[in-house]
A and B are shown apart, each in its own frame.
Chain A
Amino acid sequence: MQRIGVFVCHCGSNIAATVDVKKVVEMARLEPGVVHAEDYQYMCSEVGQAKIATAIHEKHLTGIVVCSCSPRMHETTFRKAAEKAGLNPYMVEIANIREHCSWIHKNIEEATKKAVILARAAIAKVNLNTPLKAGESRVTKRALVIGGGIAGIQTALDIAEAGYEVDIVEKTPSIGGRMSQLDKTFPTLDCSACILTPKMVEASAHDKITIYTYSEVEKVSGFVGDFTVDIRKKARSVDMTKCTGCGVCQEKCPSRKAPSEFNRGLSTRSAIYTPFAQAIPNVPVIDREHCIKFKTGKCGLCEKVCQAGAIDYTQKDEIITEKYGAIVVATGFDTIKLDQYDEYAYSQSKDVITSLELERIMNAAGPTKGHLERLSDGKPPKNMVFIQCVGSRCSDNRGKSYCSKICCMYTAKHAMLIRDKYPDVNVTVFYIDVRTPGKNFDEFYRRAVEDYGVNYIKGQVGKVAPQPDGSLLVQGVDLLDNKQILMKADMVVLATAIEPDPSVRSIATMLTASIDTNNFLTEAHAKLRPVESPTAGVFLSGVCQGPKDIPETVAQAGAAAVKAIGLLAKDKLMTNPCTAKADELLCNGCSQCENVCPYGAISYETKLINDHGVREERRIAVVNNALCQGCGACTVTCPSGAMDLQGFSNRQILAEVDAICR
């Protein structure tokens, strides 16, 4: 029989105003096993914790129940307090009478009744608790960063600067990501490449950083501190150790019809290519789909012209297996597809473009060498219309419910740059709201309106209709003037919503990291743990977690790095002792638990079992305590009830249910 102490917290008036705490104490005393019960204003305070310690010593308590706030808040506090007083920390249970009770009820009588029931359930559980001991696992002092955009680069640099090895895995042939595609950056209008390239160079030159480009994460196993990752290095068909980056192969390549990913398909590239001039590494890849040698067996021109003898048509994908202590996801974003928004005529007219395409057009290395011109006829536009929130803040199923966050600022940037360089071009922006919080952001937007004469119209565009004369008829509404607007434009730019890069889904699955309905990776806590995934050892950097601009991305990348460094700095980790355990006498060896285990924590061994005198070899499930996260999927799948979760056993849970229903 346990000797249980019950401690009821007032939480100031948070609990005490709605729950009669004295009554809870009085009722708790009547429960089996309870030898002590008291209440106090703030149980989590020094004084409150001292009361618990005193009671443990004086009443020789074997278990305690604290009726207070959510265990997410103070379970650790009370466990530590109990441990200090000599009690096993897993003999502590929390009855959440704040979030689950006082905060959501108004009637004192009802709330008190419920608080008593919650306390009773926790007492019933403690009666069946057993002391548990946390194990230890080692930490591999190496980090993996998935994605080589500005988020991944910054995280890798920060981790490397702290002295730890970092590997960056980037699926495209070069690091740089979306930022490398941008022309200028808000709110300072400095050139994107000018600020990004030094970072790319720094990362590639850093002796602690290894960059795997044209590579993808193929498989992840293990757990926090000890992940094992298979990285597929796709066949580049160019020997990275021999290539000098002279670029002759690209000049001579006769296949030039492949759409340039870097220029968003607005120009073409050769089959052997580096995505852009500042690419790192400056080693081309052969796009085997477009390469004549790979398609027909004839050609081989690049091999002939390569002085270094770096071309290798026989190269195969290579799998690299590496161990990591921490993994940072920095998979970034893409713009949404516009099939659902045909009213804007994106598929019908070359002169309706996305903002990212405009970035390429404005860029000196872009398809038009930086000249603002219509893609249909090469003529300079006279009237430009920008449409905001295309697919963002959408209330139907066509687009995204969220605000993409960056569009208001980059549209102001585009409008300003165009008005600055081409003062005779009229620029009109249709918007729902202009959202420009951020340092120097609103000033930036106001400059576009006040100094550069950009015409902002509050209202949405209903239709863009290509006209026979090549112009575009824009039909919109001005909500402030309450009138319909019909205007002619030469170019229409769509502020297309951003969404997480599609690759994030498979990566999240491999990492067992959760994603939300929009495919953004979920944080462990929206406010207090924003750069950690709920999966231990997995951290989030950049837009994969939610829409962000560059300054925010870089800040978060640093934060993710700090969290990863904090983990790598440890030699050993305490493991969660609330893991599954198979009862050898009940286990059928049927593999159902292994099938449902999301952590690969269950394996089987053939063991000689003595079942009440019957000795036989049996196939038995064995749980790896370091891998098991205590999710309990196996316990509900096991048909014979052999699997149980330590600290949350079926008996404990049923005892709680019984106590509630009593």
Chain B
Amino acid sequence: MQEIINRAKELLADGTVVRVLGWRIGDLPYNPEPSYFETAEDLEANFVYNGFCGANLSKYMIEGSKLEGKTLVFLKPCDTYSFNQLIKENRVDRDKAYIIGIGCKGKLDIEKIKAKGIKGILNIRGAEIDGNADTLTIETLYGEKTIPYKDAMLERCHVCKGKDHMIYDELLGESIDTKDADRFAEVERIEAMSPEEKFAFFQSELSKCIRCNACRNVCPACSCRKCVFDSTKFDSAQKANVDSFEEKMFHIIRAFHVAGRCTDCGECSRVCPQGIPLHLFNRKFIKDINEFYGEYQAGADADSKGPLTSFTFGDVEPGVTGGRR
């Protein structure tokens, strides 16, 4: 981690960048938060990069692009997909960002640790990125507990897109591909359900929604200046969570709006305070797009047209043929 801080200080000092977008030590050992740093002192004292730095910093560069001067931004391999997609949509200014592709060995999910009955957490060892600790040692009010690193990883890391950065100015630190599960297994399980079972499944998941908008606010694809759910121009604005229909509409509309643009970064599910597996909606669209138009990974590049916003003679016409590839 010191290597990262040192490099950030260098870039600040030589004037390459005027600020650093990274993660700041939180009030708990497991909740670092995205933050700007403008001085070497602040970096030295408060910058952190560890297994809990899951937050994708790409979206913050929408505002960062509007600031005076260049911003150093740290992007993990999967974050770079989001950044590319934002370049494609003219939402971030590539020239305003100095990107350090930072190493990643899988990020941690505090909810998974808590689910193991581990409470009163005082300190966590083994979440640092240095070294190859495969066990988390957790100091709690009730004594020390251990849990394998893998068992505490975010769902998205089990279906890791790979250790390569799609866009960067320089690379720092090593990454490993942590994929050990099938990305579409859960989608396939739901696809196999009867319509009634599917309805019951989504009803039970989405009825947990408290419309806190965390999923929308964190989503790099949900980058509209004014969200349709906030605009007075539409009847959909800020509808109270009065019935089960509305909460479903919110998530379904959101999934449609990000279809073809979602990079599957998994932030929606990571931040959901209710633990709703929101990424499944997006992944269903991704699976369909792959089947209809061929394998497509949003954000793998910054200039190609997406499958839903380009027309070719080879396009399937599911409405006509009902068929898939």
Contact = CB atoms under 8 A, between A and B. Distances in A.
Whether chains A and B associate is yes
Interface stretch (B76-84, B140-148, B207-215, B230-238): B230-238
A307 B167 CA distance: 62
A300 interface: no
Contacts of B235: 654
A596 B313 CA distance: 14
A38 B166 CA distance: 67
Most buried by A among B88, B233, B258: B233
B66 interface: yes
Contacts of B90: 588-591, 604, 619
Interface string B280-302: 00000000000000000000000
Nearest to B257: A639
A592 interface: yes
Contacts of B137: none
Nearest to A609: B225
B227 interface: yes
Given A583-B233, A596-B309, A640 B89 contact: no
Most buried by A among B66, B225, B310: B225
A604 B89 CA distance: 12
A587 B89 CA distance: 12
Contacts of B28: none
B228 interface: yes
Contacts of A592: 89, 306, 309
A604 B306 CA distance: 19
A396 to B, nearest CB: 17
Given A583-B233, A616-B66, A641-B233, A588 B309 contact: no
B91 interface: yes
Given A637-B309, A639-B257, A591 B228 contact: no
A390 B313 CA distance: 28
A144 B66 CA distance: 48
B247 to A, nearest CB: 20
Interface string B302-325: 000110111101000000000000
A585 interface: yes
Contacts of B310: 595-596
A586 B225 contact: yes
Contacts of A583: 233
A144 to B, nearest CB: 24
Interface residues on chain B, size class: 20 to 34
Interface in A599-651: 604, 611, 616, 618-619, 637, 639-641, 650
B226 A595 contact: no
Contacts of B88: 591
Contacts of B217: none
Most buried by A among B226, B257, B258, B305: B226
A592 B261 CA distance: 10
Interface string B216-260: 000000011111100101110000000000000000000001100
A616 B308 CA distance: 30
A640 B228 contact: yes
B227 A640 contact: yes
Given A640-B226, A640-B228, A641-B228, A588 B89 contact: yes
B309 A640 contact: no
B244 to A, nearest CB: 19
A505 interface: yes
A586 B309 contact: no
A639 B313 contact: no
Contacts of B306: 592, 595
Given A588-B89, A591-B90, A641 B66 contact: no
A598 B234 CA distance: 27
Contact of A640 (B224, B258, B313): B224
B89 A586 contact: no
Contacts of B261: 639
Contacts of A589: 90-91
A389 B310 CA distance: 39
A618 B224 CA distance: 13
Contacts of B233: 583, 586, 641
A590 B66 contact: no
Contacts of A587: 225
A595 B91 contact: no
A236 B214 CA distance: 65
B66 A586 contact: no
Given A589-B90, A640-B227, A641-B233, A595 B66 contact: no
Given A616-B66, A641-B234, A585 B89 contact: no
Interface in A547-589: 583, 585-589
Interface in A151-188: none
Contacts of A598: 311
Given A616-B66, A637-B309, A641-B234, A588 B225 contact: yes
Contact of A586 (B231, B258, B313): B231
Contacts of A641: 228, 231, 233-234
B121 to A, nearest CB: 39
Contacts of A509: 313
A486 to B, nearest CB: 42
Contacts of B257: 639
Contacts of B66: 616
B128 to A, nearest CB: 38
Given A505-B313, A592-B309, A595-B310, 4 more contacts: A509-B313, A586-B233, A611-B225, A619-B90
The 7 closest A-B pairs by CB, nearest first: A640-B224, A590-B89, A595-B309, A639-B257, A641-B228, A589-B90, A596-B309
10 contacts: A509-B313, A585-B225, A588-B223, A588-B224, A595-B310, A598-B311, A616-B66, A640-B228, A640-B231, A650-B234
Interface of B: 66, 88-91, 223-228, 231, 233-235, 257-258, 261, 305-306, 308-311, 313
